[in-house]
Amino acid sequence: MRWLPEIPADAVLLPETTADILVQPKPALYLSKTALATADTALMALMQETAHLGRLSLELIAHAAQIPSWKLYDDAAAEIELQNGHEAPSSLPTTDDLYRVYIKGVYGELLNFMGRFRQPLTAQQKIWWNSIPIVVMHLMDAVKDANELQRNMARFLHSDDDQAKKRYQDLRRHLKDLLREALHLWRPQHYSAAAWAQYLHTWEAHNQAFIYDFRQQVLDAIAAGQINGWLGGSMLNDLSCLVRITRSLDKAMAFTDKHGELILPQYIEIIYHLTQEPKHQQAISVRQS
């Protein structure tokens, strides 16, 4: 029997360069055959794999905006700054490659694991069980839109056009703030029901204010002749892409059960308490990563 793998709170899960990408797809961490033995062990494995997949998804979205993953975990990290010449865009992993190697297999294994389960579930367990594919679906929607966002981010963040660079730096900074806050909540070590509720309450207003200001700045720049309509259209399309990403993440993080209780905080709280238990009390067997 193998005990639960422990991922450090500040561990970076995705590689920073194409040279570091694994050759073979990385498997799920928690979905072992022995976890199918009981409803409790199966649910715990699914909750942990969902949290793992959430962290992978947030890091992939960061890569789409050329945000180094480590900056999401570093609480002391200041404003993201472009460092032209420090690392050429061609050396950065594409979201396609990261999804194929690190996320697609985990997503597929999670669905297969659920399909193989044959044990009875209590009413509460059914609520948790049925919510998992919905939460994961929203995460995959965000990942899909991140792939679209990456194309122009890679182009304009390294552009000689100061107007284009500034607008895309603004998009990246806003996305970085969103992802850092979200990732902080996803980690069991930092679990706080109050913080989760506060995040969902305040982020929407902040997000809407950014969307309005960014859109208006682009339109004003077009009117002033600072940028042309073609470039402005690209910026507004990428703003829409960012909006879809944030909405998908919000749907995942704000998904509730029939009683109106947030689902993900329940997962994170259960995982948190599990990680505080002595090793000999943990009952879930998992494969070696």
Q: What pLDDT is stored for residue 19 in this prediction?
A: 83
Residue 284 has pLDDT above 70, yes or no: no
Q: What pLDDT is stored for residue 73 in this prediction?
A: 79
Q: With bands split at pLDDT 50, 70 and 90, how would you rate the model's confidence at 277?
A: low
Q: Among candidates 59, 80, 67, which has minimal Cα distance to 11? A: 59
Average pLDDT over residues 182-197: 68
Q: What pLDDT is stored for residue 9 in this prediction?
A: 57
Residue 191 has pLDDT above 70, yes or no: no
Task: Please identify which residue in the block is written with the tokens 């209590």.
Answer: 122
Share of the chain above pLDDT 70, in %: 81
272 vs 124: which has the higher pLDDT: 124
pTM score of the predicted model = 0.86
CA–CA distance, 166 with 273 (Å, rounded to integer): 44
Please state the three-class secondary structure of the chain as a single string. Answer: CCCCCCCCCCCCCCCCCHHHCCCCCCCCCCCCHHHHHCHHHHHHHHHHHHHHHHHHHHHHHHHHCCCCHHHHHCCCCCCCCCCCCCCCHHHCCCHHHHHHHHHHHHHHHHHHHHHHCCCCCCHHHHHHHHHHHHHHHHHHHHHHHHHHHHHHHHHHCCCCCHHHHHHHHHHHHHHHHHHHHHHHHHCHHHCCHHHHHHHHHHHHHHHHHHHHHHHHHHHHHHHCCCCCHHHHHHHHHHHHHHHHHHHHHHHHHCCECCCCCEHHHHHHHHHHHHHHCCHHHCCCCCCCC
